């Protein structure tokens, strides 16, 4: 059973991104480390070797698996290690520090809802934490087990990986929640349909994880969040199963799906979803446009979004970000603008977008319309480099942890009226903190998603450090960013979820009375507070086990 659950039936690396049989060569690691070291003026980075399973010390499992659950539950070391962490900089640094003090006690690989219900019953009886696991790509500490629980059980949904039904009249499909991005699209392709929800973590993230974290995918505008593609959900909770009705829209009270979308495993386990689909893309048109300054191009991007053009792609990178992704030479901000359709040519939309950019002083570097090979052009030049790095960089992200530099991203959203003032202040505070804490570093940003009323800026922070303090330096810098966003009026997360990492700031962002109302809902369906403790809400101090 160990590690072989899931559609592809093969093991993934537990200390980095990718399958075990996919090699990142030592030369690639060295090249990446040298590039980062050069940009941060580090003379000779010390690159730690990859950790091995043998050298890790785990505490003994604190709990015993009942006989009825043994066929799909395990305490094997590999399984406990693989499911200890997500993939944030903090996680990867702890992995390279060989710190597995808080590994889960048991990992369950349920085949169906009956197995899930049986595990939840067991956890409910004993007070063990029950923690759902989709693709494991959480970057916000989505799985950590609280110390005050007598045991922690990870529920890996990798065996729930099928498309169960396709309604091609309404263009929807019933899909199991544990399916990863590639398997989902593979199974839809013969029907000529697509979900077209492609976060950067697509290869190793699941439908249930996307819904539980309100992820954002391929579309820079319009169908940005997974929320818009959910038609209805089925959720197994400790108190029973909730199945919502399939409806294209409804005015019947608060939306019952919405409570679970973004609940991060704290209310129950999403097992199936009817998802709205689309035809596969036939027409594309795209252009690369440069601007002398980030704020100049931001004006163009705002006007495009407010004109109702809804580009599929409108990644707008500042000078440093463009250089980092190979989309520019570091002297200009770069807008990668793209339109697509399964039904009609989109050249008119691109032309209007370009017109707006030119009004704001933009220069068109490349352009391909529906008549040309827009697919090919999105795979070459600035567009292609960005696309390639977008897929390749996750495979290399452990390098930064291995070399002891600080490297993390964070994202937010706020309204356009506050854009320049918040952005300037966030960068000012981060640069000051970098001077004080790490003696310098890089801060760059892009717009990853756009709304008519505001952008979702995405910041990358890289700073020199060393193995003895990189985690502490990361936390100090990340706290500065989180404090700034909360104080200045942005959200603490646009699409990476709250997790345990951003709970203190989420608690400030959301009205206390609303959180009390959520706690009431949780108490009804999870009276022993076993579901992913610490996510969104904390178990009340006066809590007593029931049942
Ligand atoms: C390299 C990289 C790139 C990323 N790019 C993006 C991006 O472009 N857009 C974006 O939105 N995010 C991105 N992320 C963050 C992450 O991929 C998303 O949060 C994703 O939605 C998590 O899906 P998952 O299946 O991996 O969930 P997991 O990491 O397995 O779980 C995330 C949380 O959801 C809970 N959960 C998982 N499945 C279920 C379920 N079926 N029912 C209830 N709760 C569940 C877990 O308990 C956990 O708390 C990225 C992460 C990495 C490492």
Which value does ipTM take for this structure? Answer: 1.00
Average pLDDT over residues 159-180: 97
CATH code where residue 322 lies:
3.30.70.3450
Residue 440: CA atoms inside 13 Å, Cβ hemisphere, count?
5
193 labelled as ligand-binding? no
Residue 384: CA atoms inside 13 Å, Cβ hemisphere, count?
10
Average pLDDT, the chain: 94
Question: Cα–Cα distances in Å, from 32 out to 26, 98, 398, 403, 464?
Answer: 10, 22, 11, 10, 15
Residue range 439-474, pLDDT digits in tens? 999 999 999 999 999 999 999 999 999 999 999 999
Q: Domain for residue 59, yes or no?
A: no
Largest CA-CA distance found in the chain, in angstroms, rounded:
70
Domain range for 309: 283-383
Which among 149, 458, 459, 474 is annotated as catalytic? 458
pLDDT band at 301 (very low <50, low <70, confident <90, very high): very high
Which of 537, 541, 503, 544 is CA-nearest to residue 520? 537
* Domains contained in the chain, number: 1
Residue range 196-247, pLDDT digits in tens? 999 999 999 999 999 999 999 999 999 999 999 999 999 999 999 999 999 9
Q: Domain for residue 351, yes or no?
A: yes
Q: Domain for residue 50, yes or no?
A: no
- Asked if pLDDT for residue 526 goes beyond 70, the answer is yes
Q: What pLDDT does 465 receive?
A: 96
Residue range 476-486, pLDDT digits in tens? 999 999 999 99
- Asked if pLDDT for residue 488 goes beyond 90, the answer is yes
Q: Domain for residue 310, yes or no?
A: yes
Residue 109 annotated in active site: no
Q: Domain for residue 290, yes or no?
A: yes
Q: What are phi and psi of 442, to 5 degrees?
A: -120, 140
Average pLDDT over residues 297-303: 98
Q: What is the number of the ligand 1 atom nearest to the C-alpha of 260?
A: 43
Tell how far the Cα of 369 is from the centroid of ligand 1, in angstroms: 34
133 labelled as ligand-binding? yes
Q: What pLDDT does 212 receive?
A: 98
Which of 3, 227, 270, 245 is CA-nearest to residue 113? 270
- Asked if pLDDT for residue 361 goes beyond 90, the answer is yes
Q: Domain for residue 214, yes or no?
A: no
Q: What is the number of the ligand 1 atom nearest to the C-alpha of 210?
A: 21
């Amino acid at each position: 059973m160990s590690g072989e659950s899931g559609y592809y039936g093969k093991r993934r690396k537990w200390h980095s991104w990718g399958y075990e049989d996919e090699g990142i060569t030592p030369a690639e690691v060295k090249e990446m480390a040298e590039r980062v070291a050069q940009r941060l003026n580090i003379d000779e980075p010390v690159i730690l070797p990859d950790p091995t399973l043998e050298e890790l010390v785990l505490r003994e499992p604190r709990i015993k698996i009942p006989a009825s659950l043994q066929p799909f539950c395990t305490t094997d070391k590999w399984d406990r290690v693989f499911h200890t962490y997500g993939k944030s900089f903090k996680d990867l640094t702890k992995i390279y520090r060989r710190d597995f003090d808080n590994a889960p006690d048991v990992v369950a690989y349920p085949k169906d809802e009956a197995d899930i219900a049986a595990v939840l019953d067991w956890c409910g009886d004993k007070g063990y934490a029950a923690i759902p696991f989709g693709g494991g790509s959480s970057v916000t500490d989505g799985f950590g087990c609280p110390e005050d629980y007598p045991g922690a059980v990870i529920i890996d949904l990798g065996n729930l990986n099928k498309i169960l039904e396709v309604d091609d009249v309404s263009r929807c499909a019933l899909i199991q929640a544990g399916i990863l991005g590639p398997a989902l699209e593979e199974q839809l392709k013969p029907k000529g349909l697509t979900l077209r929800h492609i976060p950067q973590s697509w290869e190793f993230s699941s439908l249930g994880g996307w819904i539980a974290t309100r992820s954002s995918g391929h579309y820079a505008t319009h169908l940005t969040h997974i929320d818009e593609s959910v038609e209805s959900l089925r959720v197994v909770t400790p108190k029973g199963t909730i199945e919502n009705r399939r409806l294209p829209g409804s005015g019947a009270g608060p939306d019952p799906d919405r409570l679970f979308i973004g609940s991060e495993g704290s209310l129950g386990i999403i097992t199936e979803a009817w998802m709205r689909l689309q035809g596969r893309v036939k027409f594309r048109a795209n252009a690369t446009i440069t601007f002398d300054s980030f704020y100049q191009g931001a004006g163009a991007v705002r006007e495009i979004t407010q004109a109702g053009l809804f580009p599929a792609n409108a990644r707008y990178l500042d000078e440093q970000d463009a250089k980092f992704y190979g989309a520019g030479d570091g002297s200009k901000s770069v807008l990668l603008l793209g339109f697509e359709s399964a039904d009609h040519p989109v050249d008119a939309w691109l032309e209007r977008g370009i017109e707006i950019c030119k009004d704001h002083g933009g220069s068109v570097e490349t352009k391909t319309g529906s008549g040309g090979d827009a697919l090919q052009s999105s795979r070459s030049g600035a567009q292609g480099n960005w696309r390639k790095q977008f897929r390749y960089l996750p495979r290399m992200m452990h390098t930064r942890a291995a070399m002891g530099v600080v490297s993390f991203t964070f994202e937010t959203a706020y309204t356009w009226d506050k854009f320049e003032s918040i952005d300037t202040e966030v960068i000012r505070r981060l640069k000051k903190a970098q001077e004080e804490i790490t003696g310098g570093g890089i801060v760059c940003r892009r717009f990853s998603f756009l709304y008519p009323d505001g952008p979702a800026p995405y910041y990358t922070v890289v700073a020199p450090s060393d193995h003895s303090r990189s985690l502490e330096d990361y936390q100090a810098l990340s706290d500065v960013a989180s404090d700034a966003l909360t104080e200045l009026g942005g959200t603490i997360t646009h699409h990476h979820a709250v997790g345990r990492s951003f709970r203190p700031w989420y608690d400030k962002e959301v009205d206390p009375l609303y959180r009390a109302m959520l706690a009431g809902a949780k108490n009804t369906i999870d009276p022993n507070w076993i579901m992913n403790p610490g996510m969104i809400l904390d178990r009340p101090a006066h809590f007593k086990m029931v049942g």
